Amino acid sequence: MYFAVKVESFSNLMDSIQKKLWQDPQYRSIVQELGKGRSVQDYSLDSSSQLLLFKDRVVVSNDPTIQLSIFQKCHDSPLAGIPGQEKTLKLVKWDFHWSGMTQFIKDYVSSCQQCSKNKNIHHKKFGFLKPLPIINGPWILSLNCHCPIALIQSWS
């Protein structure tokens, strides 16, 4: 599964990640420090592509369009097979890092129609409906309430 997603070219995406990273104030200072030869914990600068890495994963700026395009390549792609929340998180974390990634993926997967349609049911099957008994006389009303009835002018 991982191999099929990796085959797709990320070259245009990497260029836009690199451009947006310099515009993000959160990561600009880290890139500048690493450019001066100083070390920053868990961060490094790739010598060939000049991409910022966090524990050998590409750092993505807080730009929702880039994050969404990465996520769509790893989740919505026919090669990925529309994995669920955990597998998508593993796929994205394999190569990328950004702050709030887990919450972003939870929100996206919970709103995905394919995921909700294909999700396994983890609860006990619903029971049978019990019909109301048939009434015998006239003017008898049978009512089944599932919530409290509001009082209007002391009448319910």
**Predicted TM-score of the model (pTM):** 0.62
Domain ranges within the chain, ordered by starting residue: 2-118
Q: Tens digits of per-residue pLDDT, 12-69?
A: 788 888 888 888 888 888 888 888 888 888 888 887 878 888 888 888 888 888 888 8
Q: Tens digits of per-residue pLDDT, 18-34?
A: 888 888 888 888 888 88
CATH architecture, domain defined by 2-118: Orthogonal Bundle (1.10)
Question: Which residue do the tokens 């010598």 mark?
Answer: 47
CB under 8 A, 24+ apart: contacts of 80-88: 80/1, 80/4, 80/5, 81/1, 82/112, 82/114, 82/115, 82/118, 83/1, 84/109, 84/115, 84/119, 85/109, 85/110, 85/115, 87/1
